[in-house]
Chain A
Amino acid sequence: VNDSFLGRFSQTHLVWGSCAICFAVSAGLVFIAAPTEASMGDVQKILYVHVSVAWCGLASCLVMGFCGALYLIRRRLEWDFWSQAAAEVGWLCTSLTLVTGSAWAHEAWGTWWTWDPRLTSSLLLWLIFTGIILVRQGIDDPHRRGRIGGVLAIVGMCDVPLVIMATRWFRGVHPVAPDMDARMRLVLLASVACFTLLIAGLMFARRRQLELAELVAQLDADDCQSR
Chain B
Amino acid sequence: MMAESMPLRQLWWLVHKDLAREIRAPHAWSRSLLLGVILVLLLAAQIDPSAGHPTGAIGGLLWIAIFFAGTLALERSFAGEHDAGCWQTLHLYPVSPAMLFFAKLFVNLLSLLTIELVTIPLFIGLTDESLFARPGAMACILLLGTAGFAAVGTLLGALTAGLRNRSGLLPLLMLPVVAPVLLSAAEATRIVIAGDGDPLWGWWVQLLGAFAVVFTVVGALVFDFVMED
Residues of chain A touching chain B, judged by Cβ–Cβ distance below 8 Å, are: 72, 120-121, 124-125, 127-128, 131, 134-135, 138-139, 144, 147-148, 150-152, 154-156, 158-159, 162, 169
Contacts and interface: CB of A to CB of B under 8 A. Distances in A.
Given A124-B180, A128-B177, A147 B172 contact: no
Which secondary structure dominates chain A's binding surface?
Answer: helix
Contacts of B226: 151
B163 interface: yes
Contacts of A125: 176
Contact of A151 (B152, B175, B222): B222
A165 B175 CA distance: 20
Interface of B: 152, 155-156, 159-160, 163-165, 169, 172-173, 175-177, 179-180, 183, 203, 207, 214-215, 218, 222, 225-226, 228-229
A131 B173 contact: yes
Contacts, number: 58
A134 to B, nearest CB: 7
Given A135-B169, A158-B214, A151 B159 contact: yes
Contacts of A162: 180
B172 A131 contact: yes
A147 B225 contact: yes
B218 A127 contact: no
B225 A151 contact: yes
B225 A134 contact: no
Nearest to B156: A155
Nearest to B175: A127
B225 A152 contact: no
Given A127-B176, A159-B177, A162-B180, A152 B159 contact: yes
